[in-house]
Amino acid sequence: MSIFTQRPIEAAEPLTTATGVPSHVDRSAKGRRRAGGRRIGSHVFLVILAIYFVVPIWWLVVASTKDTAGLFSSPAFWFSGDFSLFSNIAELFTHQGGIYWRWLGNSFLYAFAGGIGATILAILAGYGFAKYDFRGRGAVFTVVLGSVMVPLTALVIPTFMLLSQYGIINTPWAVILPSLLSPFGVYLMRVYTQDAVPDEMLEAARIDGAGELRTFFQVALPLLRPAIVTVLLLSIVGTWNNFFLPLAVLTDPQLLPVTVGLNRWTALSNAGAGGEQVWNLITSGAFISVLPLILSFLFLQRYWQGGLSVGSIK
């Protein structure tokens, strides 16, 4: 008989807390409470951000329905008794010979000419940086990244001096040509092209006998559609909202975009008793000027969603 007595191994009892609850259950409950607290905090933060962005738009919608007296007598964030939106729009399109129509057309011209041109250049430059290895590529792209950090307002005076040497000040080209450069668009297209266009697909197209242009237009370009739409919208919005550059290079009222034109009416209204009070036209004109941008984002949103699965093609 062995001198050692073997006893059956008993199952270890689960550790419990002071309240008698198993420790692993208590830890999981604490984890769920902690995760729930983080979710509530993130939701509250998102609600605050949404209110921050929606409040100015709501004020603009409300203000566009008021006349000049109602803008200063009624509550700022609610409608007044008189709904004057349609009368404001009718007066807006006839004021000063209907010059608002001209300003709106100028904004469309500058935004689409500059936005489309900037998108084309960004596509070509981004694709070249992403898929071609050439001498000085890193240095040139570093310069492009550095230019992203330069404020656009800091370039207005040098741009004005450069354009004045070529005699194109106070012409549409003075706004369109500087708008063709989009360093951020180039950066975005390069980053997107690296992930969305596999090198294997390009090599397979070249092996099949496709030239570089055909490979670009038939293989790479369809995969870049979400990024193209994004760069196009950003370029159009940036040119449409551009204020300082047109203010510096344009003096002819017939060439002004809607942003600078409304600013002129604001200066006249701020002149006091000797100036013309057109605050109702300014708010209505600002409301109409943002509608094309809102509609563009709504109608082109599906193209951004199409890019979610592009990166999985290998």
C-alpha 235/C-alpha 229 separation (Å) is 10
Based on the domain organization, do 206 and 288 belong to the same domain? Answer: yes
Last residue of a domain, one of 49, 70, 93: 93
Based on the domain organization, do 83 and 105 belong to the same domain? Answer: no
pLDDT of residue 309: 41
In single-letter form, the type of residue at position 218 comes to Q
Based on the domain organization, do 155 and 47 belong to the same domain? Answer: no
- CB of 209 closer than 8 Å to CB of 97: no
* 27 inside domain: no
Last residue of a domain, one of 48, 67, 93: 93
* 147 inside domain: yes
Tokens of 23: 């420790």
Tens-digit pLDDT profile for the chain (314 aa)?
A: 444 444 454 444 455 555 554 555 455 655 566 666 678 888 889 999 999 989 999 999 999 999 888 888 888 888 887 888 999 999 999 999 999 999 999 999 999 999 999 999 999 999 999 999 989 888 999 998 888 888 888 888 899 999 999 999 999 999 999 999 999 999 999 999 998 889 999 999 999 898 999 999 999 999 898 889 889 988 999 999 999 999 999 999 999 999 999 999 988 777 665 567 889 999 999 999 999 988 888 887 776 555 444 444 43
pLDDT of residue 150: 85
Q: Report pTM.
A: 0.81
Based on the domain organization, do 207 and 239 belong to the same domain? Answer: yes
* 22 inside domain: no
Of the candidates 104, 114, 28, 149, the residue with the CA atom closest to the CA atom of residue 258: 104
Based on the domain organization, do 287 and 220 belong to the same domain? Answer: yes
Based on the domain organization, do 201 and 80 belong to the same domain? Answer: no
pLDDT of residue 272: 60
Q: How many domains does the chain have?
A: 2
* 16 inside domain: no
* 207 inside domain: yes
Domain that holds residue 231: 97-312
Interior CA angle at 285 toward 284 and 291, to 5°? 90
* 56 inside domain: yes
Based on the domain organization, do 105 and 71 belong to the same domain? Answer: no
Based on the domain organization, do 59 and 177 belong to the same domain? Answer: no
Based on the domain organization, do 201 and 234 belong to the same domain? Answer: yes
Based on the domain organization, do 147 and 60 belong to the same domain? Answer: no
Last residue of a domain, one of 44, 62, 93: 93
Based on the domain organization, do 88 and 101 belong to the same domain? Answer: no
pLDDT of residue 36: 60
- CB of 282 closer than 8 Å to CB of 262: yes
Based on the domain organization, do 125 and 268 belong to the same domain? Answer: yes
* 17 inside domain: no
CATH of the domain at 164: 1.10.3720.10
DSSP string spanning the chain? Answer: --SSPP-PPPPPPPPB-TTS-BHHHHHHHHHHHHHHHHHHHHHHHHHHHHHHHHHHHHHHHHHTTS-HHHHHHS-TTS--SS--HHHHHHHHTTGGGTHHHHHHHHHHHHHHHHHHHHHHHHHHHHHHHHH---TTHHHHHHHHHHHHTS-GGGGHHHHHHHHHHTT-TTSTHHHHHHHT--HHHHHHHHHHHHHHS-HHHHHHHHHTT--HHHHIIIIIHHHTHHHHHHHHHHHHHHHHT--HHHHHH---GGG--HHHHHHHHHHHHTTGGGS---HHHHHHHHHHHHHHHHHHHHHTHHHHHTTTTGGG--
* 272 inside domain: yes
